[in-house]
Amino acid sequence: MKGRASILLSLGVLALGLVCAAATAHAQDPIVVGSKNFEESRLLAEMFAQLIEERTGLPVERRLNLAGTQVCFEALRTGAIDLYPEYTGTGLASILGEAPSGDAAATLARVRRVFLERWDLHWLAPLGFENAYELAVPRELAHREGLATISDLVRVAPHLDAAFGYEFAERPDGLPGLRQTYGLSFASVRRMQQALKYRAAAAGEAQVLDVYTTDGRLLTYDLVVLDDDRSFFPPYAAAPLVRGATLARHPQVAAALSLLAGALDEEGMRRLNLRLQEAGEEPAAVARDALAELGLVGRATEIAPETGKKESFAGYLWGRRARIGRHTLEHLALSGAGLALGALLAIPLGLALERRRRLAELVIRTVGVTQTVPSLALLAFMIPLLGVGRAPAIAALWIYSLFPMLRNTYTGVANADARAVESATALGMTPLQVLAKVRLPLAAPVIMAGVRTSAVLTVGTATLAAFIGAGGLGDPIVTGLQLADTRMILSGAVPAALLAIGVDLALAGVERLVAPRGVG
């Protein structure tokens, strides 16, 4: 029994070492490019990454799909990423918390100065277009009610249902500010992903949406954008936001990105976004085409869009098999590292608490409190400490894995067969010998049940790691949610479910190995 435990512990430590080595091994210092979790941000980040690779020869690591403005900004501020595409109005209102300004030049000057002074972050030259917030309504409603401006909307808003993005519903340059400036009040406000809002409007389930001026879906859905007649929304000029330390190490990065200054316009961005949103093309292919049209990179071999309108789900999965395989390995590495770390702490702690029973319940309940913290909140909390990527994801998964293993380990050893324990004590065994020779072997099935529970929960929770750029099977799930693409969501969810089942079956085999004969 002791030999088996030593072998399992050694394998766990070896696996953890391999995961950590893979996560940190880079021959060169890469430029880490981040993005938020919507189409245009991913597209611009991909354009930045390809341009840097083409023009500087520096290695680039992509951390796309980060969960919103604050996550991206914290990742940049703490050095977890080197740059990402941002909008001046977002920097002013959402990050600095200042009142929106309608002056584009003043907004750019303000964020440039304050970001540089506070955080040594540089706003490079804007890309040439703004992606501003606007409110839109169905054309039929606009004609029937005579709606041309947001002030016109105030009159009928109490009878309308609104569908707004999660950030817009909370940002000072979003719904809270609109209420204060215009006095808007709706019959109901629902929060949902960008793609789903358009579908809700098409189905008549929502009459007012927050939209982006460069959203390609404005070309396909019959909506009217209302004029911001009180100039509430600030200018949202798109620009690269870069760490000063990165520019000091690699000044050629600024030179490469400057080639995009003023190179993009609103109409062109709508067309590019439409290829992502409705045609289902990959950001890497669309970015390459956009850069090639500008003469900044060579045109790559044409890649057919993965729309697969008439393709079976099995065919869709087969066509993405390499990507799914890569995401599955990433997912397994994240889950395995979190579970291994959890087992290395929870099982010895559970064994130790058997001899401190008065303290045991307090410790176990304290650890159990971690289960009440929302997964995404815990991941976001880790960013200032560990940045983005694998490290904070593994730390969060480690914390979530502890409770089931700790509870089961303590329960198993504390409630071991009383007769066996009495017999061992009568034979002159010390309490430590009783624990090692009697309680632990008898508790093995209960301990392994806790490990199996933690493993399944860890595999499921690891899908959220995509929100902080750690990859895994959450990546297609998050992207699919943004695009309202059911097949893409399932291409992550189905392998994740199968992986959870496979891990549980594998641990069931381990349980049979470690359980003494006649137990379990």
Q: Is pLDDT above 80 for 341? A: yes
207-236 pLDDT per residue, tens: 999 998 898 887 788 889 999 999 888 889
Nearest residue to 459 via CA among 365, 342, 332, 324: 332
SS3 at position 138: strand
- Write down the CATH superfamily of domain 321-514: MetI-like (1.10.3720.10)
d(CA 516, CA 444): 8
CA distances to 207, 382, 480 from 47, in Å: 34, 28, 21
Q: What would the mean pLDDT of 231-245 be, rounded to a whole number?
A: 93
Q: What is the mean pLDDT of residues 30-51?
A: 93
Assigned CATH for 28-130+236-307: 3.40.190.10
Q: Which residues contact 306 (CB under 8 A, 6 or more apart)?
A: 280, 281, 282, 316, 319, 320
According to the model, what pLDDT value does residue 80 have? Answer: 84
**pLDDT interval class at 307 (50, 70, 90):** very low
Report the predicted TM-score, pTM, of the whole model to 2 decimal places. Answer: 0.69
In the predicted structure, residue 304 carries a pLDDT above the cut 80: no
pLDDT of residue 511: 84
Burial (0-12, 13-18, 19+ Cβ within 10 Å), 321:
exposed
CA gap 396, 391 in Å, rounded: 9
Rounded to the nearest 10°, the torsion over CA 43, 44, 45, 51 is 110
pLDDT at 417: 65
Ranges 337-341, 420-424, 497-501: which has the least confidence: 420-424
pLDDT at 469 over 80: no
Q: What is the pLDDT of residue 18?
A: 39
CATH topology identical between 28-130+236-307 and 133-226: yes
Residues 76-110, buried b or exposed e (16+ Cβ, 10 A)? bbbebbbbbbbbbbbbbbbbeebebbeebeebbeb
Q: What pLDDT does residue 220 have?
A: 81
**Out of 163-177, 373-387, 493-507, which region has the weakest mean confidence (pLDDT)?**
373-387
Q: What is the pLDDT of residues 112-122, one digit of tens each?
A: 999 999 999 99
| Model confidence band, residue 79 (pLDDT cutoffs 50, 70, 90) | confident
> What is the band of 259 on the pLDDT scale with cuts at 50, 70, 90?
very high
In this model, does residue 326 exceed pLDDT 60? Answer: yes
Mean per-residue pLDDT for 386-397?
A: 85
Residue 153 in this model has a pLDDT that exceeds 60: yes
* pLDDT of 308: 42
CATH architecture of structural domain 133-226 = 3-Layer(aba) Sandwich (3.40)
pLDDT at 22 over 50: no
How many percent of the chain have pLDDT more than 70?
88
For 280-290, the pLDDT digits (tens) are: 788 999 999 99
pLDDT at 333: 93
Residue pair 411/445 in contact by the 8 Å Cβ criterion: no
Task: Kindly list the domain boundaries of the chain, sorted by start residue.
Answer: 28-130+236-307, 133-226, 321-514
